[in-house]
Amino acid sequence: MKIGPVKFGEVKEYTLEFTNSGKNDFNLFHLEGGCDCTEPLDWSRGAVKPGQKGFITFRFNSAKAKVSDAYPSSLNIYGNLPGDLIIYDIEANVTE
């Protein structure tokens, strides 16, 4: 996911929507930001049934990032999937 441009020092919130394309219910157990600049705020609670949509809302604090047109971060998504962890990459365009 690419976000921005975000001025250095700005704090913005984003919502990521997804569709459960699997055959089983999907449950999000826990979320973590890949760095101090990315903070999960809210997400779909309970089971997301096959074919249904879910969401993840997160905050990006550019003051904790660096000025870059491709600053890397991520959301670490823990759920009931093989391997238990999905790393969702985020690339931020942080400007001066």
Residues 40-63: tens digit of each pLDDT:
999 999 999 999 999 999 999 999
C-beta atoms surrounding 48 within 10 Å: 21
Q: Measured between alpha carbons, how far is 95 from 64 in angstroms, rounded to an integer?
A: 13
**CB-based contacts of 87-90 (< 8 A; 24+ apart in sequence):** 87/34, 88/1, 88/16, 89/1, 90/1, 90/2, 90/3, 90/34, 90/38, 90/60
Residue 17, judged by CB atoms within 10 A of its CB (0-12, 13-18, 19+), counts as exposed
> What domains can be seen in the chain, in order of their start residue?
2-95 (2.60.40.10)
Give pLDDT, residue 82.
79
**Percent of the residues in the chain that have a pLDDT greater than 90, as a whole number:** 93
| pLDDT digit string, tens, across residues 7-24 | 999 999 999 999 999 999
CB atoms within 10 A of CB 61: 17
Residue 48: DSSP 8-state: B
3-state secondary structure of 90: strand
Mean pLDDT, residues 62-88 taken together:
93
* Token pair for 40: 């999960």
pLDDT > 70: percent of the chain: 100
Whole-prediction pTM value?
0.90
